[in-house]
Amino acid sequence: MRKKENLTAYLFLLPSLAGFVLFLAFPLLFSLMLSFTDWDLISGIRHIRFIGLDNFTEMFADDVFGTSLRNNIVYTLIVVPATMVISLAIAMILHHRVFAVKTLRLAFFMPYITTIVAVSVVWLALYHPSQGPINQFLMAIGIAHPPQWLASPNTALLSIALMMIWIGIGFDLVIYMAALNGIPRHLYEAAEIDGAAGFRKFVSVTLPMLSPTTFFLFITRIIASFEVFGPVNVMTSGGPGNSTSVLVFEVYEQSFRFYRMGYGSAIAWVLFAVIFVVTLVQWHGQRKWVTYS
């Protein structure tokens, strides 16, 4: 009977296990192997040629890779803190001082659950240098030469970052509001007895109690910022002049445009290493600033 029950359990687990091996484990290991090879995808498996660390050597001498990495870091430094700070500010307002909270929360959350391609197309129209509503408004209030947004190398990356901040606010807002609802009321009452005013209660009670949530959002935001691809592909294709090229877009370009699967895989594994190191640093640092309730 025990063997029969075990067999039944394994049969139920088999579809998930097969999916894990087929769609995650095998591609992961195969891409690691490809990172040490030269393969153009079209020529077939038999023409894979082992070249050792040549892909990585070429990568760190490649100006486009360096630009993509730098753009990714700048994008992360803009999007992650801005999204979290704005989300927390709105969450505090909705939590304390606004009616129709559920409706407003849904309104903020809608961009996050909308497909990124659709949102990118809409913002592509908004950012149009001459006919877009944003520049039309700026010219109407007297700004003769408004920014070129996606058409200029100086503002293209910032334009994408602003859109992604707008999209990401909804998710962080919902998480922060749930965390705010979980803070015990008696902590605020104790702070009031000690003479703490509004801002002091925020610093001494709210922020420490939100630190686990902030830590969670901080990690997920950084990982997501290094994986950004959709807006870049739809809105700029990495341009103008590689000013919006990021690591995942460079993986896509090398692998599926130039058919350099080995080189693309090497970039993907460097991206994995960057995210892994950043996550390790964050996990180590959480001991000093995260207060568990």
pLDDT at 291: 63
pLDDT digits (tens, 9 = 90+) for 87-100: 999 999 988 877 77
Residue 278 has pLDDT above 90, yes or no: no
What is the fold of 57-289? MetI-like fold (1.10.3720)
The end-to-end CA distance of the chain, in Å, is 45
Could you tell me what percent of the chain has a pLDDT over 70? Answer: 98
pLDDT digits (tens, 9 = 90+) for 38-83: 998 788 888 899 999 999 999 999 999 999 999 999 999 999 999 9
pLDDT at 190: 86
What pTM did the predictor assign?
Answer: 0.90
Domain locations in the chain? 57-289
Residue 290 has pLDDT above 90, yes or no: no
